[in-house]
Structure 1
Amino acid sequence: MERHLAVTRSARYYQLGELSAATKRVWFVCHGYGQLAAYFSRHFAFLAEADPATVVIAPEGLSRFYLSGNSGRVGASWMTRDDRLHEIADHVGFLNQLADQVLDECLADVRITVLGFSQGTATVGRWLAQAHFRPAHLILWAGGFPEDLTPTQASNLLHGLPLTIVVGTNDEFIPAAQVTEQQQRLQALGSSPQLIRFEGKHELNRAVLEELAAQGHI
């Protein structure tokens, strides 16, 4: 008989910039499948370097594994199909605890941007449906909004929430038809997503990140 036991474990995250009452913007950025937060967070370093009032928080999936064989490079995952509901619950709990700790060091009017990349898009969607705060901007980059949220959960989250979809024109995992389908589904849930396409593959893009960061300063 399968059973489960809740245990305490160490979760890893990376922080760029210093949190204080002077912090005006916090970005929570969640990596994709097989990535590590240490490397993923480097794409956002310029945000904190250019603006001392901006802090970037990059949590890491709780499951790590060797990317090839039983040695070499290591990656992390947010979940797999095996025991997925418990993995989702563990990550939502981790992200809520992390956000509570981070936001306790900021003023109540801090602007929060949440970005999910690839597998991280579903993770941030499930998290925000149960989060203790409401972001100012949600960015789904090279991935989809989770389909396992109830219509009520999805609509409550998306109603009035600025949402941006970002996809490379040559993304090898996301065909154009899927992008259109995603837009239509989000619109049916009451969202009016902004779509940004860039010349590139399944990857982040510095110019687009700069554009999105500039929107947060308006």
Structure 2
Amino acid sequence: MEKRIQFQFNGRYEVLGTASEQVEELWFVCHGHGQLAKYFIRKFESIAQPNRLIVAPEGLFRYYLQGFSGRVGATWMTKEDRVNDIDNYITYLSAVYHEVRSGLPKDIKTTFLGFSQGAATISRLATMTDLEFDRLVLWAGIFPPDLPPLKSTDRLKDKQCFLIYGLQDEFLTDARIQEQESIARQIKVTPESISFEGKHELSDQILQQLAAKPYRHQ
């Protein structure tokens, strides 16, 4: 017979920049499957500047990428006990968000960005909580099919949404893109699509282009 227990859990996250009253923009970024936050956050160094704080939480589950030793990666969830894992990481991400926001101006502009598996993670954070943000970026990933339709529509109706992908991305097949479009229609969202010559990766050029875009209510 399965039983469950609640206990305090210690998670970690990485920060690029310094929290202060001078920060005008927060980027909350979630890595993909098999990555670690300390390496993922380095990919945002090209857009780092004094008035922009970048925060990269790390998936709660770490494992050896090959065999029983060597490089380690993290993941947000698997198919096993997925609902409980989703609840856990939303609780964790919300705690990170509140801790970071407590040291920042109240009127700060906020970007939620998820790469690959992190796209589903950040989508759930955006639509299953009441956390404040201004734009949602799905990079090399799509909306998960289990988003709450009515709340998702309400939460995203005034937000800027972007879908970014490499034209040679081996994971974003035509079927996956069609699935994305179907889910987007269900939650009444039309993301702005941005593509680039590249594979399943972040692009400095596109990051800089995205960072230069004005917020809708700026």
Give the TM bin, normalised by the shorter chain: over 0.9
The answer as to whether partners of 1:187 and 1:193 remain within 8 angstroms in 2 is: no
The answer as to whether partners of 1:136 and 1:162 remain within 8 angstroms in 2 is: yes
Letter in 2 for 1:71: S
The answer as to whether partners of 1:161 and 1:191 remain within 8 angstroms in 2 is: no
Map of 1:200 onto structure 2: 198
Distance 1:33 1:149 in 2: 20
The answer as to whether partners of 1:121 and 1:144 remain within 8 angstroms in 2 is: yes
Instruction: Give 1:180 deviation, angstroms.
Output: 4.0
Distance 1:144 1:68 in 2: 26
Distance 2:214 2:5 in 1: 42
Map of 1:60 onto structure 2: 58
Q: Please report the TM-score for the alignment, with normalisation by the length of structure 1.
A: 0.94
Q: Pairwise CA RMSD of aligned residues? A: 1.4
Letter in 1 for 2:11: A
Secondary structure of 1:129's counterpart equals: helix
Map of 1:123 onto structure 2: 121
Letter in 1 for 2:212: A
Query: In the alignment, which of 150, 167, 170 is matched to residue 169 of structure 1?
Result: 167
Map of 2:9 onto structure 1: 9
Map of 1:28 onto structure 2: 28
Map of 1:133 onto structure 2: 131
Structure 2, unaligned stretches of length 5 or more? Answer: none
Residue 18 in structure 1 maps to residue 18 in structure 2: yes
- Residue-by-residue CA offset, 1:53-89 (whole Å, 9 max, x unaligned): 1000000000000000000000000000111111111
The answer as to whether partners of 1:160 and 1:191 remain within 8 angstroms in 2 is: no
Instruction: Give 1:216 deviation, angstroms.
Output: 4.0
Structure 1, unaligned stretches of length 5 or more? Answer: none
Distance 1:84 1:184 in 2: 23
Map of 1:211 onto structure 2: 209
- Residue-by-residue CA offset, 1:102-141 (whole Å, 9 max, x unaligned): 1111111100001000000111111112334221110000
Instruction: Give 1:177 deviation, angstroms.
Output: 4.3
| Comparing 146-155 and 17-26, the one that deviates more | 146-155
Distance 1:84 1:181 in 2: 20
Distance 2:125 2:113 in 1: 12
Distance 2:65 2:85 in 1: 20
The answer as to whether partners of 2:35 and 2:73 remain within 8 angstroms in 1 is: yes
The answer as to whether partners of 2:127 and 2:156 remain within 8 angstroms in 1 is: no
Q: How many residues align?
A: 216
